[in-house]
A and B are shown apart, each in its own frame.
Chain A
Amino acid sequence: MSASVVTPKRSLLDRLPVIHQVRQSVGLQRGMLVVGLVITGVFLLTALFAPLLAPYGYAQLKADGVNFGAQQPPSAEHLLGTTVGGYDVLSRVIWGTQTAFAVMVVAVILSIFAGVILGLISGYIGGWVDRVLVVIADAVFAFPTLLLAIVAAIAISGGQSGFWSGVFAAAISITVVYIPQYFRVIRAETVRIKSEAYVESAKVIGSSTPRIMFRHVFRNATRTLPLLFTLNTSEAVLTLAGLGFLGFGIEPTSAAEWGYDLNRSISDVTSGIWWTSVFPGLAIVLVVLGVTLVGESLNDLADPRLRTRRRASKGAPVLTAETSTVPGGSLDGAVDLSDLETKS
């Protein structure tokens, strides 16, 4: 028995959410995660230091009393050229990160709160509340998401607006689309957890329904959320760009928005002016790619069946499979080897 392991307390560094996963991963999975983290990190830093990084303001048309001029090719003054409206492309791309970040945060926070609470109530209480909510969620699912977002954008802001109202309009229209997703996930988890023995044991103890819902079900049901949330942020960026591209986004004078810039550059493409469309487009692709890579890797790492591990070495192993052969079980921390028995 003495050969068994006392599970060492993990160091603080190891317990931090993302760092723990980086250390846990190997090979391709680690590569994906690190690339995703780097891209996301660059995006966040750019958003944070946009005022320092951008050479001009997002709505600036002239410097020192001289107009930039429209559709100027890349030069020393304008590293990435200017747009058809006479804005500096580089500055618009850098300021655009702020808008994208604001929309991501607002959209995800709004949809998580509403989705989680509705899902919890619907799954745990059940009955007609559940049926009505599920039908509504299904109906929202059945709509084309972009159409729904357009309708919401028009209803909220009349289509065009300033920075915060524009951000909120975009965020709320995205929220409407994403609430059903969170609702579905949380409801399914809640229904599963409801029949777990620990919920039943709380019931036989005599716990009140709110106590069971929030102390026992809530925390266990929301474990998968971080994964869903990283995947949805990337979709939020896409929806925002889609809205902007269709002309329902934020006005260029209120904030820089990549979708709007892409829209304005359509005619440039045929006349050989490539810099107005390539850079905003690249920015969208990179942000979506970075966030998706992080989300996918976290998702794979959270699932022991998808997680790749280093091969066991041919040498003598450090640990010994523990059996509970001391009557009543050993007193040392148990290495959970039950999965060896059940793995087929």
Chain B
Amino acid sequence: MTRVVDIDQLSVTFATDGGDVAAVKNVSLSVDAGEVLAIVGESGSGKTVTAKSVLGLLPDTAVSRGAIILNGKDVVSLSRAGLRSIRGTDVAMVFQEPSTALNPVYTVGWQIAEGLRAHGKYTTKQARAKAIDILSRVGIPEPEVRVDYYPHQFSGGQKQRVVIAMALVLEPELIVADEPTTALDVTVQAEILDLLRRCRDEFGTAIILITHNMGIVADLADRVAVMYEGNVVEEAPVEQLFDSPQHDYTKRLLAAVPRIGTGAARAQQRSDDRIAGGATQSAPVVIADKLEIEFPGRLGRPGFRAVKGVSFTISPGEVLGLVGESGSGKTTIGRAIGGLTKVTGGSLTVLGHEMRGVRERDFKPVRSDIGFVFQDPASSFNPLLTIAECVAEPLIVHKRAKDAASARSRVNELLEAVQLPRAFGDRYPHELSGGQRQRASLARSLALEPSLLIADEPTSALDVSVQARVLELFTELQKEFGFAALFISHDLAVVDMLSDRIAVLYHGELVEEGNGAEVLGSPQHPYTQRLLASLPVPNPREQAVRREELRALKGAETE
């Protein structure tokens, strides 16, 4: 095996308004040809910075020390011209968000040829032939036609294939893939991971894979480096890492990963409790009956139907998990229950109020009984108000308190309920970390002790270990306050941990509904089966078996 890149004692320091910050400290790593090295870590651990320094892509505010030897050249000390010559030919990059990595005003063929033109002389014809060839190799159907398509004519997964094609076209020895599947749905993710595996096997390319998802690591990586606070705390072959993690942090990280099948017992226990408590006799808090939601189209065009005839109920104290991919209508349903989106057909009854054609004035009193937790903790707080003022808002609006100061004692109770110190009330939202903000968001939604809570992907923007903590808190609070909840997520494992029942949405239709054991144990609908099989499990051996199962499942579908 030949060594492709050798990172030796790399340190990177950023100049910020708050002084110099060390993002990477004395990191030494190496990658051999035909090997996939996964760098795992949470946000701020320095994994992206490490990988980007291999291409010399750091911003001007960064200062690097140490050495990165790539094909006998030290990237750290290379000039701009030297960097240009190695980018593309020696090392290429695959970005996280394929829709922003492609320029919307050029055809994909032109964009692939752009890399060729930068590194040699090609006639238009030769470049085009090469673009077609590489597109067919990354699995784009009809490459002769598709080469003239613009990025918006491709789906998200195909766009990522094009980005990978751009990286591969000059046959670099190393590809740096920065969270290549984070922006994609789980079924598409499996295909992209397959493609990356083929890059390694067929092209012999070495890959540095940056990810926070342990399932992806188990699926693709040969060797894993775990980063924490700018240091590599553990480096091991993938099976060894999962079987016997050495460092405490690695153990904690692995323990925090949600796994399917852990929720069934808990859900059974809780539903038993509920039946014993006699809660199921009362009327459901939410009844959706052939619910339809249509967004108006532009002049003369038909509208877009986001939700097509969905029926479900949520009983008091019950947690319904709503799973689906992007565009499946799950968020739209949550927003309709919260009164943020108009219901256009069927019937939706929330706490005894029909939402179809409801007037804001009639619905306002009901709002005190509904809590809402938003997906992005960064933007769900007014940046100019302190946390205490934000949490006090619902109390003031519903006249339970005169102003933020008189609500403070109640706010303190709420902050303690979500396990934040009282003093955090005086901080501004940007002074809190993502997990803390999401807990404050929970506190705000619970301020009026609602009987229904809508949580729209509350943990998808958080790191795994933080996510585990927030989910645990959610479970505790649900037990304590006994609210019914609609938990929206794209992650089956997360939904499984929390929900009493799971509903699966696909293109605006409800394809399967049942308790965790039914839906995840023996899925009936082919889509649910595929969704389940596509989810990578954090165990390399098990994942290899599952990969074969998924392939068989796909084979069966195409027959």
Contacts and interface: CB of A to CB of B under 8 A. Distances in A.
B544 interface: no
Nearest to A202: B393
A165 interface: no
A144 interface: no
A200 B431 contact: no
B18 A7 contact: yes
Contact of B44 (A215, A309, A310, A324): A324
B263 interface: no
A207 B385 CA distance: 15
Contacts, number: 185
A321 B466 contact: no
A197 interface: yes
A205 B397 contact: yes
A320 B229 CA distance: 7
A62 B16 CA distance: 62
Interface in A54-101: none
B554 to A, nearest CB: 34
B228 A325 contact: yes
B20 A340 contact: no
A198 B367 contact: no
B44 A220 contact: no
B434 A329 contact: yes
Contacts of B316: none
A52 interface: no
Contacts of A329: 432-436, 466, 469
B379 A197 contact: yes
B396 to A, nearest CB: 9
B465 interface: yes
Contacts of B65: 314
Contacts of B215: none
B18 A197 contact: no
Interface stretch (B45-53, B200-208, B409-417, B488-496): B45-53
Contact of A319 (B20, B340, B380, B463): B20
Contacts of B376: 197
A336 interface: yes
A197 B374 contact: yes
A328 B469 contact: yes
Interface in A289-344: 304, 309-314, 316-325, 327-331, 333-338, 340-341, 343-344
Among B41, B378, B382, B432, the most chain A Cβ lie within 10 Å of the Cβ of B382
Contacts of B468: 327
Contact of A324 (B59, B397, B463): B463
A204 interface: yes
B84 interface: no
B405 interface: no
A309 B17 contact: yes
A200 B393 CA distance: 13
Contact of A197 (B45, B380, B470): B380
A313 B20 contact: yes
Contacts of A322: 44, 229
A201 interface: yes
B485 interface: no
B73 interface: no
A334 B429 CA distance: 10
Interface residues of B, number: 77
Contacts of B48: 340-341
A216 interface: yes
A304 B46 CA distance: 21
Interface string B58-96: 010111010000000000000000000000000000010
B460 to A, nearest CB: 13
Contact of B16 (A207, A309, A325, A334): A309
A321 B419 contact: no
B338 interface: yes
A325 B229 contact: yes
Contact of A198 (B15, B22, B379): B379
A200 B374 contact: yes
B95 A207 contact: no
Interface in A1-49: 3, 5, 7, 24
A335 B21 contact: yes
B397 A211 contact: yes
A127 interface: no
A32 B502 CA distance: 61
Nearest to A24: B17
B19 interface: yes
B384 interface: yes
A317 B340 contact: no
Contacts of B439: 328
A220 B384 contact: yes
A196 interface: yes
B161 interface: no
B43 interface: yes
A206 interface: yes
A207 B360 CA distance: 11
A7 B433 CA distance: 13
Contacts of A7: 18, 431
B229 A311 contact: no
Interface string B20-33: 11110000000000
Contacts of A316: 22
B21 A319 contact: yes
B397 A328 contact: no
Given A202-B393, A206-B397, A337-B44, A321 B229 contact: yes
A311 B63 contact: yes
Nearest to B255: A327
Interface string B361-405: 000110110101011101111111100001001100110000000
Contacts of A203: 339-340
B265 interface: no
Contacts of A325: 42, 228-229, 249, 252, 463, 465
A327 B467 CA distance: 9
Contacts of A5: 18
A321 B19 CA distance: 11
B49 A340 contact: yes
Contact of A310 (B15, B365, B374): B15
A341 B58 CA distance: 11
B24 to A, nearest CB: 8
Given A7-B18, A311-B15, A319-B19, A340 B382 contact: no
Contacts of B378: 338
Contacts of B228: 323, 325
Contacts of B338: 204
A15 to B, nearest CB: 13
B352 to A, nearest CB: 17
Nearest to B366: A206
B444 A206 contact: no
Nearest to A335: B18
A201 B444 contact: yes
Contact of B398 (A201, A206, A328): A206
A139 B393 CA distance: 40
Contacts of B256: 327
B370 to A, nearest CB: 7
8 contacts: A24-B17, A215-B385, A314-B63, A318-B20, A319-B20, A320-B21, A327-B252, A327-B468
Interface of A: 3, 5, 7, 24, 196-198, 200-208, 211, 215-216, 219-220, 304, 309-314, 316-325, 327-331, 333-338, 340-341, 343-344
Given A317-B19, A340-B21, 15 more contacts: A198-B382, A204-B372, A205-B394, A205-B398, A207-B397, A220-B384, A311-B15, A316-B22, A317-B13, A319-B18, A319-B22, A328-B419, A329-B466, A334-B431, A334-B432
Interface of B: 13-23, 41-46, 48-49, 57, 59, 61-63, 65, 95, 228-230, 249, 252, 256, 338-340, 364-365, 367-368, 370, 372, 374-376, 378-385, 390, 393-394, 397-398, 419, 421, 427, 430-436, 439, 441, 444, 463, 465-466, 468-470, 473
* Smallest CB-CB A-B distances: 4 pairs: A328-B469, A206-B367, A317-B20, A329-B435
